[in-house]
Amino acid sequence: MSTRFCFSCFAVVQVLTCASLVSAEVPVVTVEPQPFLAATRQVMEATAFLGSAFTAEETAALQQCIQQNDAAAVEKAQRILDARTLFLVTINPEQRVKVAATQSLPKLDEAGWHQYLVKVVNEAGTTAPLKVNSPEAGQVFFRYYPQPGKADPPPPSPPLSARWLDAQMWDAPPMRPALSGLNVEYRIIGLYSRDAGKREARFSFDTGQGTQDLGFRAEASVLFDCKPAPEVTLRVKDEHGEPCMASFTIRDAAGRVHPSQFKRLAPDFGFQQQIYREDGEKLKLPHGVYQILFQRGPESLPEKREVTVDANTKELAFQVKRWIDPAKLGWWSGDHHIHAAGCAHYTSPTEGVHAPDMARHCQGEDLKVGANLTWGPCFDYQKQFFTGQEDKTSRHPFLLRYDIEVSGFGSHKSGHLCLLRLKDQMYPGGDSSNHWPTLGLNTLRWAQKQGAVCGPAHSATGLQVSSTELPNYEIPPFDGIGANEYIVDVTHEVEGPDGKPVPAVDFMSTVDTAPLWELNIWYHTLNAGFRTRISGETDFPCIYGERVGLGRSYAKVDGRLTYDAWCDAIEKGRCYVSDGFSHLMEFSANGVPVGEKNSEVHLAKPGKVTLKAQVASLLAENPLPEFYGQKAPPGSENLKNWGRHYDAFYRKPYWHVERARIPGTREVPVEVIVNGKPVAKRTLKADGNVNDVSFDVDIPHSSWVALRILPSAHTNPIFVVVDEKPIRSSRRSVEWCLKCVDQCWTSKEPTYDEDEKEDARAAYEHARVVYRKRLEESVAE
């Protein structure tokens, strides 16, 4: 049974096909006037709030009954309420629950909610929640992943396509969350129809497990007449007045999301509140008042609008309002880690979703590049969509391409890997996912040989420590699926497509996990002289299902944007990572832009460098309350025991501009980072305006420099080479890396297959040798 509603007396309605029924008579029940009529007032208030208020005549009559407050008033009030009653529920003294339908061919609205009353004759005096069940109100999809040795589940009954109904017992204030114990009272049930026309459903009610009556007395079948909903055409324009795709979150007067999340199939995702529609598309909306939140990703300003839909409503027009457009300056947004299958996606009626669905979501979030990674779940189905080229659903500048995440197979236990710009998606030796190497380095050798751009996913997983300093020198457990084997792989060069050696790892993923843990290992390996870049990701819909592009890279591309050119910019570090609410554009040192000329600035001797950037950030005028007052769960004081549960330390979203707010202001700090430590800072008013910033920074020896607004945006590094000496900026960092190799081996050695153990031992020993050599060359702090 679904738990999508938090109301304690709500339960999902399920549905079975059945013959039509004759409606039952509704008896008038003797009850004490005062508590019954007080509850009647609550029903009146709740139905008005839900948009189905009693008529003026009914309201006046019920108010008169409340004033009269006697047995005659109780009988009259019941007669009025009974006219709106769809179910008569009787709970006998043994707390057995039976139900009868009280109306013939009741009305529902396609794509909308309709409220009815449930009359409860409570002979047991129970104060338990009243729950409703019906198979046809089950979800229209399910998730199941085959497991070795276990039989597949039977086909769903009724079929997913027959589940046309949604249902909700309304128990929010002013209603009670449970039955009052009175011998008669009325509850409110909301029914939502996905379809138009005649539809039938079977209902049962209970007050706890095993309380349904025996036989068919526990069930009632109802044939509904579902009125077709009017269609409203959406006019959706970008800031230039051109047609576009955008996000719509639609709620009725009761706050219920439209269309029902429980009845959604692609391109709409049931785990999201919003839907994505483009100019000219139609939306079914029954008459009523709606609150609509309209936006197009973090670069736009959200618009909230109240809309009344009636017989005269034919169109609704919306236009995007931007606060920033990095693409105008050649900085193109992208998310290198989204999925069309697995996690929150369903496996039936289809094995995940398809390219047009993912492309729609990218366009609606104004995300220019989406790397749609096939991985373990539904691998053998999704692999058919890989072409080694931009998918045909791409509409420039919105580009979608299939690539691979090594996850759920192969070397995933030593750390998941994102493999971008592949020419061949299948590791040699098979045609599925069960033959891939368990040593990540072997996977990287194969991928780099074909010119792929590679890096570990959700980097912080397995790197949790208790320190809140950055950098810090605690040794993580290396017990997760993030940048774990990275500590070894970063020391290796492998053969590239032209036969020349290239770094085994091009980038580390950021923005979708705890920033201190992501950045700590990156800072240390940069201090050791390695030049891994960072790229922003969402891992949609696994770590985040709210939207694609929650974590982003903004990559500088000369000329026409292509997927390959965007990946090339990631590889070269010609990008910054962001949540989309802060931007660090045109970062340069002594006139050398990040990602150009190997990101190198050369000094003959120690001296100053001038750093410049165009910086913008946008905060709400007032702090967002959901980011404050959070408490860590019990046990989080010892984070090493939390393994992969890194949200014990940081709550989602891990990166967000609100977390960068300077308390009591609308400002954020822009920091200069040299060798992992802040050396200069200026405050920036986060009002959306672009500001030119400049810093003069002392460089005592070969170092790396970067800018950040933590935890909202971070540039890639520029490497300042002094006297042609390599960067070995921290002896403590290299010592930390060396200890981490041993810890990683302790954790990951059992995950490597026996036929790869010697390769693994050699790879780890190579890392130790490299770090020991660099330790001798490093600067002592």
Segment 656-680 shows an average pLDDT of 97
CB-based burial, 244-278: b 16+ in 10 Å, e otherwise = bbbbbbbebbbebbbbbbbbbbbbbbbebebbbbe
Q: Where residue 19 falls among pLDDT bands split at 50, 70, 90?
A: very low
* pLDDT computed for residue 715 by the predictor: 98
The number of helices, as runs of H, and strands, as runs of E, in the chain is 11, 38
pLDDT at 412 over 50: yes
CA distance 335 to 757: 34
pLDDT > 90 fraction of the chain, expressed in percent and rounded: 86
* pLDDT computed for residue 707 by the predictor: 98
Please report where in the chains the tokens 């104004």 appear, as a residue.
Answer: 366
CA distance 470 to 517: 9
Q: pLDDT digits over 430-466, tens only?
A: 999 999 999 999 999 999 999 999 999 999 999 999 8
Structure pTM?
0.91
Peptide bond preceding 633 in cis form (omega within 30 of 0): no
The answer for residues whose C-beta is within 8 angstroms of residue 395's C-beta and 6 or more apart is: 359, 363
Q: Nearest to residue 341, comparing CAs of 148, 143, 155?
A: 143
Bridge partners for 678 per DSSP = 673
CA atoms within 13 A on the CB side of 347: 16
Contact 479, 643 (CB under 8 A): yes
Kindly state the DSSP code that residue 775 receives in the 8-state scheme: H
Helix (H, G, I), strand (E, B) or coil at 36: helix
Contact 293, 304 (CB under 8 A): yes
State both tokens at 38. Answer: 């007080």
Kindly state the DSSP code that residue 613 receives in the 8-state scheme: E
Topology at the third CATH level for domain 326-622+644-773: TIM Barrel (3.20.20)
pLDDT at 2 over 70: no
Q: pLDDT digits over 462-494, tens only?
A: 999 988 899 999 999 999 999 999 999 999 999
Q: Where residue 158 falls among pLDDT bands split at 50, 70, 90?
A: confident
Q: Where residue 318 falls among pLDDT bands split at 50, 70, 90?
A: very high
* pLDDT computed for residue 152 by the predictor: 75
Q: pLDDT digits over 102-125, tens only?
A: 999 999 999 999 999 999 999 999
Contact 410, 438 (CB under 8 A): yes
Q: Write down the domain spans for the chain.
A: 33-145+157-227, 231-319, 326-622+644-773
Classify burial at 94, counting beta carbons within 10 Å of its beta carbon; exposed 0-12, middle 13-18, buried 19 or more.
Answer: exposed
Report CA 569 to chain centroid distance, whole Å.
26
Domain 33-145+157-227 shares a fold with domain 231-319: yes
pLDDT at 645 over 60: no
Q: Where residue 10 falls among pLDDT bands split at 50, 70, 90?
A: very low
Contact 131, 249 (CB under 8 A): no
* pLDDT computed for residue 14 by the predictor: 28
CA distance 613 to 326: 13
Helix (H, G, I), strand (E, B) or coil at 374: strand
Q: Where residue 214 falls among pLDDT bands split at 50, 70, 90?
A: low
Q: pLDDT digits over 284-308, tens only?
A: 999 999 999 999 999 999 999 999 9
Q: Where residue 676 falls among pLDDT bands split at 50, 70, 90?
A: very high
Bridge partners for 238 per DSSP = none
3-state secondary structure 178-236: CCCCCCEEEEEEEEEECCCEEEEEEEEEECCCCCECCHHHHEEEEEEEEECCCEEEEEE
Contact 65, 115 (CB under 8 A): no
* pLDDT computed for residue 213 by the predictor: 65
The answer for residues whose C-beta is within 8 angstroms of residue 762's C-beta and 6 or more apart is: none
Specify the amino acid at residue 287: H
What's the chain's average pLDDT? Answer: 92
Domain covering 33-145+157-227 in this structure, CATH number: 2.60.40.10
Q: Where residue 535 falls among pLDDT bands split at 50, 70, 90?
A: very high
Kindly state the DSSP code that residue 524 receives in the 8-state scheme: H
For residue 447, give Cα distances in angstroms to 129, 367, 380, 452. 57, 26, 20, 5
Q: Where residue 649 falls among pLDDT bands split at 50, 70, 90?
A: very low
Segment 312-338 shows an average pLDDT of 97
State both tokens at 149. Answer: 């040795």
Domain covering 231-319 in this structure, CATH number: 2.60.40
pLDDT at 17 over 50: no
The answer for residues whose C-beta is within 8 angstroms of residue 325's C-beta and 6 or more apart is: 239, 299
* pLDDT computed for residue 466 by the predictor: 87
Bridge partners for 110 per DSSP = 193
